[in-house]
Amino acid sequence: MTLSPVAQLLSELVAFPTQQAGPERGPGNELALCEYLAPLLRARGADEVIIGTAPRTDGSPGAYVFARWGTPRRVINAHVDTVPANAGWSRDPWTAHVADGRLYALGSSDTKGAIAATLVALDGARPRDFGVLFSGDEEAGSCVMHAFLNTPHAAAIKEVIVCEPTARTAGIAHRGVLGQKATLLGPGGHSSKADFMPKPLAQLARLAVSLDDAGKRRISDGPANMTGTCLNIAALHGGVAFNVIPARGELEWSLRPYPAFDRHGWQHEVMTLASAIDPQIAISTTIEHAPFACDSQLAELVRPFARAIGPLDFWTEAAMWSAHGADAIVIGPGDIGQAHAADEWVSVDDLDWAVALFRAVLAPAS
C-alpha cells in the first residue's frame, strides 16, 4: 500500500517509544524523537532549531524541540510523549498498521499525527514570526512545558494552537485536574485489639464517603456546559493482612474543576470534613492543573476547518499557555475516544484535514 506523505511520516514517528513509564515497559526516550525531528524542521527552513531537556514528572529524562522562523508570535504545539500501551493491543503498539483508512499505533492520535501533519504543512511554506514546539511530559505533570515557558524563547509567543485529538472541535474551554490524598497514621497492631485501637482505614473510608457526598452536592455547580466536579474516589491503601490493623492509611481522590471553580472554598471544605472525622488526617495535593477558558481570537482562523467551537471534556496544556498570557485554542487530528485505548488509531482523512488546517495556521500572525 502506498502511503500519503503524512501517513508515511507518522509511521516513522510512532516507531520511537516515548511512553511514560508503565507496568509492561519502562519510560520511553523523548530526546531520541526530538533529535530525529530537529533536522526535519531545519530542512523546512527554520532559522533556528533548539533541543531542550528537562526531567519528566517521574524523574526520567524529558525533552522538547523548538523551531522558529523569525520571532515567533504564533506557535503550533504538540506533545511527543504517550501514555504506556494499554492492555489489549492486537499488534505491536510501536509499528504502524494501516487498514480501512485508519493508521493504528500508540500515539497516532495523541498526538504524533499532529506532529506529522505540522511537518507536511511546512513543506514549501514560508512562515514569518512563527514557531513549532514539540514537547514532552504532557501525559504526566507537564514538567517539560514548565521548563520551556521559563526560557526566553517563550517570551514573544502570543497565539498557540495546542494539538490534541478533538474530533475536529476547536476547544476554547476545558476542566482542570486536581488530585489529592489524605494520610492517617496509627500504632497498628493485632486485629484482636481492633475494638480498642485506632483504625486508619476506617477513618479514611468515612472521609471517602463524605467527599463523595460533597461531590454530589456540587452536581449542579458550574457553567451550563460543564456542571459538576467529576469527583472520583480513586483508591484506599494501607492493608497488610486480614489480621493486622494497618499503621498507615492513604486515601486518593480527584476532581475536574470547571473554569472559575472556587479552589479555596473546596480546600476549606475538605479540611473541615477531614477534621470532623479525625484531626490527625493530613491532606496534600498530588497534581493540580488549572481549568482553561479563553475568548480566543484564533477561533475565526480555525472556524472553516472546525465542526464546532466550544468546551472539551479533557485537560490540555492550553491552560498553561493561557496562564503564560497567550491566546490559545485546542484542535487536532483524531478523537479523544481513541487516545489511551488499545489499538489507538487516527483516520487518514483526519491527517489530511490537519495538514490543510495547519497550512492556514502558518499564515503570518497579526
What cell does 275 get? Answer: 477534621
pLDDT at 38: 98
In this model, does residue 140 exceed pLDDT 80? yes
Other CB atoms within 10 A of residue 325 CB: 10
Question: pLDDT tens across 227-257, in order?
Answer: 999 999 999 999 999 999 999 999 999 999 9
> Does any domain span residue 28?
yes
Q: How many domains does the chain have?
A: 2
> Does any domain span residue 366?
no
Residue after which a domain boundary falls, among 255, 289, 323: 289
> Does any domain span residue 65?
yes
Residue after which a domain boundary falls, among 247, 263, 289: 289
pLDDT at 153: 94
Same domain, residue pair 132 and 26? yes
Rounded to whole angstroms, the Cα distance separating 164 from 183 reads 35
pLDDT at 58: 83
Same domain, residue pair 43 and 142? yes
Percent of the chain whose pLDDT exceeds 70:
98
Same domain, residue pair 38 and 153? yes
Same domain, residue pair 55 and 77? yes
- Return mean pLDDT, the chain: 95
Question: pLDDT tens across 173-215, in order?
Answer: 999 999 999 999 999 999 999 999 999 999 999 999 999 999 9
Evaluate whether 176 touches 288 at the Cβ level (below 8 Å). yes
Residue after which a domain boundary falls, among 252, 268, 289: 289
In this model, does residue 364 exceed pLDDT 70? no
Sign of CA dihedral 80, 81, 83, 85: positive
Q: What burial class does residue 224 get, using C-beta atoms within 10 Å of its C-beta: 0-12 exposed, 13-18 middle, 19+ buried?
A: exposed
Same domain, residue pair 71 and 203? no
Rg of the chain over Cα atoms, rounded to whole angstroms, equals 23
pLDDT at 224: 87
Same domain, residue pair 45 and 155? yes
In this model, does residue 363 exceed pLDDT 90? no
pLDDT at 24: 67
In this model, does residue 365 exceed pLDDT 60? no
Same domain, residue pair 47 and 108? yes
> Does any domain span residue 211?
yes
Rounded to whole angstroms, the Cα distance separating 283 from 74 reads 40
Long-range contacts of range 220-226, CB-CB < 8 Å, 24 or more positions apart?
A: 221/258, 222/258, 222/261, 223/258, 223/259, 223/260, 225/310, 225/311, 226/173, 226/175, 226/258, 226/259, 226/311
Same domain, residue pair 194 and 343? no
Evaluate whether 284 touches 183 at the Cβ level (below 8 Å). yes
pLDDT at 57: 86
| Domain extent at residue 264 | 177-289
Question: pLDDT tens across 32-81, in order?
Answer: 999 999 999 999 999 999 999 999 988 889 999 999 999 999 999 999 99
Rounded to whole angstroms, the Cα distance separating 188 from 234 reads 24
Same domain, residue pair 126 and 76? yes
Question: pLDDT tens across 290-341, in order?
Answer: 999 999 999 999 999 999 999 999 999 999 999 999 999 999 999 999 999 9
Same domain, residue pair 58 and 133? yes
In this model, does residue 1 exceed pLDDT 80? no
Question: pLDDT tens across 116-136, in order?
Answer: 999 999 998 989 999 999 999
Which band of pLDDT confidence, cut at 50, 70 and 90, is reported for residue 25?
confident
